[in-house]
Amino acid sequence: MDSARITAAETLAALGVTQPDQVAPLFAEIRSRFGLESTAIHDEPAWKTFRDAWLGRKSGILAQITDNWLKPAPPDLKRAVGAGLNELRAHVESQIESRRQAIESGAEQSALAREHVDLSLPGVTRPIGSHHLIRQVFQEIEDIFVSIGFSVVEGPEIETPYYNFEALNIPEFHPVRDDMDTFYLELPKGAPTPLLLRTHTSPMQIRTMEKQKPPVRVIVPGKVYRRDNPDATHSFVFHQVEGLAVDSDITFCDFTGTIEYFVKQFFGPGVKTRFRPSYFPFTEPSVEFDVSCIFCGGSGTAAGGGTCSKCKGAGWIELFGAGMVDPAVYGFVNYDAKKVSGFAFGMGIDRLAMLKYQIDDIQVFFQNDVRFLRQFP
C-alpha cells in the first residue's frame, strides 16, 4: 500500500487493505494529512473551506471514509475501520473547533506577530480522559470470551414484545413478566405493535439465531431497563452481558467449563464455583451460578472477626443465572431441537464491577462524580 496514493475516495480493496493491522497506518496517514493542512488555516474564510472539506455531509473526507471504507468493509475489517473512524472524527472535530476559537480570539495573529517565544515557560497540561469503569469491565469480559471463540454482537435497546418475551418462551400473562416490568413507548394510535425498552439483551440471541445457522457462539453486551426503585443495588437502567452457544454436540459439561474459565480469568484462579438449581423460562435445566466470597475467601468470616457483611456468612455470592437452552426456544428460530443443543447465561456488568472493585452503591456509576471516576484510570 503506497501512502502517497491514499485517498478516501477509493475503497479498501482498491487501496490493497485486506487485514485489520493495515487499517491503523491508513488512518495515521489521513490524520497526518489533516495536521499539515490545519497549520495553514489563519483566517475565517480559509477555516470554513477547511471545515467543509473534512466535515461536509456529502463530500467531506470523513463522509467519504464512511461511504467508501466503512460501509463496504468486510466483517473482519469493519470493527477496526469503525474504531479508527471514530478516533479520527473526534480528533478532526476537536482540532477544527480549536482553530475556530484561536482565529476568533486573535490568538493566531498574536502568535504570528510575536518575535520571541520563551521556551523555559512550562507547557499547558491537558487532562487525559479514560474509559468509564463499566466500559472497562465490558472490554475485559469481551476479551475473555473472544479469546475462546465467541463473537460480540449488539442490538437495539428498543424492542418488540415478541423478541423481548415471546420468542424467549415468555408468553403473555406469564408470571415472569412481573419481574421484568419495563418502560413501554407511547406510540400513535394504530401502531402495528407496541415497543418497549428491553429488559435484557437476550433478544439479540433470537435475532442472531434467526440470521445464522449453528454453530453459534456470541456474547451480547448492552444497556437494559427495568422499573426498579433505585437503591444501593438496584437501578432502572443497568448493563448486561448475555452469552449463547449452540451446536450439534454441546453438553452441560461444556457450559460449566466455559463459565468456570471466565470466572477464574475475571476474579482470579483462587475463587471456587458452584451451581444451584433454579428456574428461567428460556433454559432447562436452569441454574444459579455462585462464586466463593472474594471478600472473606469463602470462609464467611470478616478479616477483623465476625460475620462477613458481603456474603452474610454463607461464604458464597450469587453471580448470575444460566442453563441449557430450552428446546421450545429453538422452535422460534427454526432450529431442530433434536439435532442441536446449547447453553445461555446472563450477567449484570454493574454487579461484577461492584464485586471486583468493592463498590457499595450502584448509583455511583451514573452520578458522573469525577472523584469516583478518577479512581479507575
107: cell is 490568538
Question: What is the mean pLDDT of the segment spanning 170-177?
Answer: 80
Summarize pLDDT for 65-114 with one digit per residue, the tens. 888 888 888 888 888 888 888 998 898 889 888 888 887 776 555 555 55
Neighbours of 205 (CB within 10 A): 30
d(CA 206, CA 333): 7
The answer to whether 349 and 137 have CB atoms below 8 angstroms apart is: yes
Per-residue pLDDT of 222-247, as tens digits, reads: 999 988 888 888 888 889 999 999 99
Angle ∠(324,326,330) on CA atoms, nearest 5? 115
Q: Give the class (CATH, top level) of 133-373.
A: alpha beta
pLDDT digits (tens, 9 = 90+) for 343-367: 999 998 998 888 888 888 888 888 8
Quote the percentage of the chain above a pLDDT of 70: 95
Helices of type H across 331-376: 349-357, 370-373
Query: What pLDDT, in 10s, does the model give residues 133-164?
Result: 999 999 999 999 999 999 999 989 999 989 98
Distance, CA of 223 to CA of 239 (rounded, Å): 4
Is omega for the bond preceding 25 within 30 degrees of 0, making it cis?
no
Contact 141, 266 (CB under 8 A): yes
The SS3 of residue 147 is coil
CB atoms inside a 10 Å sphere around CB 160: 17
CA nearest to 209, candidates 322, 336, 323, 320: 336
Place of cell 456509576: 365
Domain boundaries, the chain: 3-113, 133-373
Task: Tell me how far apart the alpha carbons of residues 147 and 135 are, in angstroms, rounded to a whole number.
Answer: 18
What pLDDT does residue 1 have? 40
Q: Are the C-beta atoms of residues 343 and 322 closer than 8 Å to each other?
A: yes
Phi-psi region of 300 (alpha: psi -120 to 50; beta: other; left: phi over 0): left
Identify the sign of the CA torsion 101, 103, 104, 109.
positive
What's the rounded mean pLDDT across residues 207-216?
Answer: 92
